[in-house]
Structure 1
Amino acid sequence: MGNATGVEITGPLGERFAEILTEEALSFLAELHRSFDGRRLELLDLRAQRQADLQAGGTLGFLPQTREVREGDWRVAEPAPGLEDRRVEITGPTDAKMTINALNSGAKVWLADHEDANTPLWENVVQGQLNLRDAVAGRLAFTSPEGKDYRLNDGPRPTIVVRPRGWHLPEKHIRVDGQPTSGSLTDFGLYFFHNHLATRPYFYLPKMESHLEARLWNEVFAFAEERFGRPTGTIRATVLIETFPAAFEMDEILYELREHSAGLNAGRWDYMFSVIKKFRTRGREFLLPDRDSVTMTVPFMRAYTELLVRTCHRRGAHAIGGMAAFIPSRRDPAVNKAAFEKVSADKTREAGDGFDGSWVAHPDLVPVCREIFDGVLREKPNQLDRLREDVHVTADDLLNVAATPGRRTETGLRGAVSVGVQYLDAWLRGTGAVAINNLMEDAATAEISRSQVWQWLHNGVVLDDTGEPVTKELVERIAGEELAKLGGDLAAARDLFMEVAVADDFVDFLTIPAYERMP
């Protein structure tokens, strides 16, 4: 293992970890930390200031100070090699089995996830980088405990696009000058350092709340390219528009990253979570019904996705659709049929709206998504020529949460508690994406569950089906009843869920206290 000046590794050294944690790689991480971590922390403070403004009665809107950017005539860089055609993208964590399955799936792009579908268990952080490097080299293989062999197929493979952790998460096992490093810079830095010569260094950027955060990423990219003598634009990044504030700064985010931009993605699940979080104390104006009722066709979600397509295509950038959480079952034909129908309807809507591609979470759904986009694209690689000039979305349209139909029910409350506890149990054990009730749950969907419980509790919601007010005592009783149904030792997950779902203070991300509990 490396011994870079000022760098301390506090995590245990697993097999082959020294191949990733070399002195040169750690020195690069130290350079990134010393150059950019101070600004990262300042931007997190700006998030907190905006949240305080919203809770004091403020609102969100298009920024007057960046009006010239929105109205200007500019475009991002042309699509980079391997990213011209993105009609179907598969997502998943970077463990060996999932990596091989994703690269053998037939998708155009694989989102290699170090964020919501992963947990930052130290072993996952470093082993994931090893798996990525082995995959890029074409030598990754895996044998399951049951003796099943997994190998990379010959022939074309998806373009790898790595999603690092968001700006808010630290990496506590790597310290520079006595301070924990940024999870974002760690994930980016290790992947770029080990692979920028062997493959195209492409990234998905999560959880950003402003164009200033995109500017910081652009500065990181420019620094890395100059440091290693790579041409400007070698690095490309797709930004997930998955926070409420970012929806009002899409033009600005593309502008900040323009020479490094690969478009925007409609990160729908985190977006719903962010809507709740940002206006969590604002009563009826921003209360959402049961999670299952908030579909992509409700007014505020429709406005967000249509504006995303229009904004991207006006600037020559790809617009990528979101994740359909439904997953097929190879054991239950009825579940399988329902999942295929729901995913098909979701992707048909996105393709018809002008998206250039979309996400799936399971290899069996790749052909479903591909067939739908094939039917719209035909011989074209994308729909960048569909400018959607018919779309006119106002700030009021984006903020129109109150028009969302649906009820707030005990069934919905029970589902939120049960899913939240089950997911946190998996997360604490090192698994970041888990199938629950035939849906793929990750940190984003778990955030919806716990934030909705908090919102209902702290805004005096009375359940529509039972007439019972949502209280801490009701949530605790439901948690006990749901855990009794599940069985097993879920005490740690239950305690964590209650901490982030019913406490007086709202924790910005449930993964922060969860990470503190992780070795």
Structure 2
Amino acid sequence: MAVPKERILLQPAQIHAATGPSHAQILTPEALAFLAGLHRRFDGRRRELLAARRERQARYDAGQLPDFRADTAAIREGQWTVARIPTALLDRRVEITGPVERKMIINALNSGAKVFMADFEDSSAPTFANQIDGQINLRDAVNGDICHTSPEGRFYRVNDNPAVLIVRPRGWHLPERHVTVDGETMAGALVDFGLFAFHNARTLQARDRGPYFYLPKLEAMEEAALWDEVMSATEEALDLPHGCMKATVLIETLPAVFQMHEILHALKDRVVGLNCGRWDYIFSYLKTFRGHRNRLLPERSQVQMTVPFLKAYSELLIQTCHRRGAFAMGGMAAQIPIKGDEAANDAALAKVRADKLREVQAGHDGTWVAHPALVPVAQEIFDKYMPSPNQLNVVRADVSVTRDQLIAPCAGSISRAGFDNNVDVALRYTAAWLDGLGCVPIHHLMEDAATAEIARSQLWQWLHHGNVEFTDHAPINVVLFDQVLAAHTHRLRASQHPGAARADEAATLLAQLTHAEQLGDFLTLPAYAQLH
């Protein structure tokens, strides 16, 4: 007997994964019904916007260049500002980021940073257990009773005056295959956002703490508008004041840099700032121009924020944000302490100081670090050069950035060491990700998915555009790639590094993506199918 359509529409979201007893606290019937409502109302529009991304990329592949939109000139030229920034977010000089793992959450909240961005996205491998355990951990943190005892017996708890919590859900493109509604797979973004909001929004709003969110991977103002609709609907459903949910948007795709005014405008009742997500931005540059031989990038170590196209991006973001009354957040320092080598550690910290000095002097209102040890380093620089809570008064009237400056090719070279490093990092990160780790220490840097995306995209670019050479004029070709990959796979398999047990699977996936005729949109999409 067929089930009446009316009854199907009333069914809650369905879970297709093994769950533990504690997960029932998050996956309640009421929460699953709430998720189902989000999916039915918003997933169709999400899919339309993902189709628009594919159409846009096809135009770039055919030779079109990204540019400012003619149909939104009135927004860029208009006189308007975003809504008032909450008191809790007026000083964001140092923010720490990390996955939603219990001990890391406690350490981040205790780090001395002003803000902790709890990440369900690039620094989390989205096994269903990881995602739901993360929801439990954040619920406990919001309720003030999170604690942890390590296997060695060390006890962790949150101290007084912890960092302000901001949550980053997955991007619009990522599915959550373990949750379906009416037989359709839910978006990871709606699962992460919906569960966190359902269980924590009322508590946070009562404390004047939002809830606050970081929104990743947006490419257009319409995608920002969809988030605004989702948040407005959630506020209404949970009986919260309109606009209490606040958002900071990561400008980490090349198409988005041409729509920063428009993205702020689409979220103007709730947006508080934009962030220079620089590693993903470099990846997006590579992906956008995957069909453009004249826009190859040199090895990753040479693509620093001082190169012209990245400097233009950063300065335009600052000018745009401050014109609209929003914060302009700086990028990530991924260094971690180098134990046992004082000289190397000092050199790494010197790079962090130079980067943060550049950011604060350019006009950024704050910055990101990946490790608690870097919080005092970054704070020292911002305290010295930004004694006020922020720099909204720095209007950067001197900045005038054109389309061509934002897409300018980057001069440089490719060394054998740079090529080798890309293979090594892409392989090691992918293997660790497949093993359930999304935040991985590699060569004294805390890497997330963005670094692996840059590494594998550059490898594809160098191999598929032909006649690309090393600094010694030796050719870069597929035979060499296969040899280097095999050598690194052998070393990883025999090592104690995270993901060693998944080395062969990671190598097969990396080889498939690198040999493919077209650069894949995201490493994490095909890898997700192999995630246990």
1:375 is aligned to: 384
- Residues 26-45 of structure 1: matches in 2 within 5 Å? 26-45=32-51
Unaligned runs of 5+ in 1: none
- What are the superposed Cα offsets for residues 436-472 of structure 1, whole Å, 9 maximum, x if unpaired? 1111211001000000001111111422334233222
Q: 1:435 aligns with which of 424, 438, 441?
A: 441
- Cα deviations across residues 123-174 of structure 1 (Å, max 9, x unaligned)? 1110000000001111111122222221111x21111000000000011111
SS class of match (1:345): helix
Q: Which residue of 2 aligns with 1:260?
A: 270
Question: Which letter maps to 2:315?
Answer: E
Listed as ranges, the matches of 1:101-250 within 5 Å are: 101-153=107-159, 155-199=160-204, 200-250=210-260
Check 1:485–1:191 CA distance in 2 against 1; reply closer, same or farther (3 A cut): same
SS across alignment from 1:504: coil
SS at match of 2:88: coil
Identify the residue that residue 46 of structure 1 maps to in structure 2: 52
What is the CA distance between 1:281 and its match in structure 2?
Answer: 1.4
Offset at residue 474 of structure 1 (A) = 1.5
TM-superposed deviation, 1:334: 2.4
On the 8 A contact 1:335/1:438 being kept in 2, the answer is no
User: SS state of the match for residue 474, structure 2?
Assistant: coil
Query: 1:500 corresponds to which residue?
Result: 513
Q: In the aligned structure 2, how far is the partner of 1:264 from the partner of 1:468?
A: 42
3-state DSSP of counterpart to 1:408:
coil
Aligned-residue offset at 1:376: 1.8
- Give the one of 392, 397, 420 matched to 2:400: 392
Is 1:311–2:320 an aligned residue pair?
yes
- Decide whether the 8 Å contact of 1:313 with 1:384 is kept in 2: yes
Give, in whole Å, the separation in 2 of the partners of 1:127 and 1:461.
48
Match of 2:486 in 1: 480
Alignment match of 2:464 (pick from 454, 458, 461): 458
Would you say 1:95 and 2:105 are equivalent positions? Answer: no
Instruction: With the length of structure 2 as denominator, give the TM-score of the two structures.
Output: 0.94
Match for 1:445 among 431, 447, 451? 451
Contact 2:330 2:367 in 1 (8 A): yes
The letter of the residue matching 2:84 is E
Please say if residues 334 and 371 of structure 2, whose CA atoms lie closer than 8 Å, have aligned partners that are also in contact: no
Provide Cα deviations, 1:478-514, integer angstroms capped at 9, x if missing partner.
Answer: 1112233334341011111112222113221000011
Q: Alpha-carbon deviation of 1:294?
A: 0.4
Q: Which runs of 5+ in 2 are unaligned?
A: 1-9, 205-209, 495-500
Which residue of 3, 6, 11 corresponds with 1:5? 11
CA distance in 2, matches of 1:508, 1:328: 33
**Retained in 1: the 8 A contact 2:117–2:168?**
yes
Question: What do you get for the CA RMSD once the two structures are aligned?
Answer: 1.3
Match of 1:512 in 2: 525
Q: Is the 8 A contact 2:12 2:29 kept in 1?
A: no
CA distance in 2, matches of 1:303, 1:435: 30
After superposition, give the CA deviation of every residue in 1:298-336 in whole Å (9 maximum; x if it has no partner): 000000000000000000000000002222224432232
Q: Does the CA-based 8 Å contact 2:321-2:328 persist in structure 1?
A: yes
Contact residue 12 and residue 35 of structure 2 kept, 8 A? no
Whether the 8 Å contact between 2:334 and 2:447 is mirrored in structure 1 is yes
Q: 1:299 aligns with which of 287, 297, 308?
A: 308
Closer, same or farther: CA 224–461 of 1 in aligned 2, 3 Å: farther
Q: SS at the partner of 2:161?
A: coil
Counterpart residue type for residue 18 of structure 2: P
Deviation at 1:6, TM superposition (A): 4.2
Deviations 1:73-126 (A, max 9, x none): 000011123111100000000100100000000100000000001110111110
TM-score normalised to the size of structure 1?
0.97
Q: Deviations over 1:166-193 (max 9, x none)?
A: 0000111111101110000110001111
Q: Percent identity?
A: 52
What secondary structure, in the 3-state scheme, does the structure 1 residue paired with 2:514 have?
helix
Distance 2:350 2:365 in 1: 21
- 1:282 and 2:292 matched: yes
Q: Which amino acid aligns with 1:344?
A: R
Aligned length: 512
CA–CA distance in 1 between the matches of 2:324 and 2:530? 43
Matched, 1:76 2:82: yes
- In the alignment, the residues of structure 2 paired with residue 33 and residue 352 of structure 1 have an alpha-carbon distance, to the nearest angstrom, of 44
Structure 1 pair 119/69, CA: closer, same or farther in 2 (3 Å)? same
